[in-house]
Amino acid sequence: MKVDTLLLGPMLNCTYIIENRGLAVLIDPSWDMPAIYKFLEDKNLKPAAVFFTHAHQDHLTDAEALLIKYNLKGYLEERDEPLCSLPKVLVELYKAPKIFEIAGLKIEIISTPGHTKGSVCIRIGNVLFTGDTLFVNSVGRTDLPGANPGSLIKSLKILTSLPRETIVYTGHSYGGKDGFKTTIDGQLSSNPYLKLAKNNPKLLEDML
């Protein structure tokens, strides 16, 4: 398994392409479909599945074209359906937590509401894709419709219990150079929100 990152669009959204056995699992394909098509074609990868970490528009802009081109449906946690602008016929709703077996990969969906009701983190082996739940040294906004600070704190606490060596890929590159990639261990030492979620969640309530 190999993880590739495409930084696309004006908000430094991360499209992740997980390669395994000539197949590709895509997470949050958005903004620049031609760039994604070119990447897949250059590497001779066949898309096997598309997952969305949540249904905010910047994580699925223009994904409709990709889903049609490759005859796929995008997997979305059902609680985010009200936010989703994709045609219903292109979306496969499911309830987290859930485990998928696709492209020879065990894909574990962890329910992490807070940024949105249906936000999930996606764990494959020792790699975790956090969407807008966790950023490098920050966390997702909780002031948008459907967001809930208390839920986000509980979700962050779940992440603090994962193995510390877990590699984290975030939904935006907000952390400077390579600002989309970190570890649980690194964030437990440098991310004030994650530290507080673990050690003093009550105080964190006042900050979100």
Binding site for Zn ion (CB under 5 A): 56, 132
Least Å distance, CB 103 to Zn ion, is 26
Cβ at position 182, least distance to Zn ion in Å: 18
Nearer to Zn ion, 36 or 147 (CB): 147
CA distance 160 to 183: 11
Q: How far apart are CA 40 and CA 16, in angstroms?
A: 12
CA-based nearest residue to 172, from 113, 112, 114, 131: 131
Instruction: Using alpha carbons, select from 186, 171, 193, 197 the residue that is nearest to residue 13.
Output: 171
The smaller minimum CB distance to Zn ion, of residues 32 and 132, is found at 132
For Zn ion, the closer of residues 170 and 182 by Cβ is 170
How far apart are CB 171 and Zn ion at their closest, in Å? 7
What is the rounded CA–CA span in Å between residue 91 and residue 93? 6
Question: Least distance (Å) from Zn ion to the CB of residue 59?
Answer: 6
Q: Which is nearer to Zn ion, 40 or 173 (CB)?
A: 173
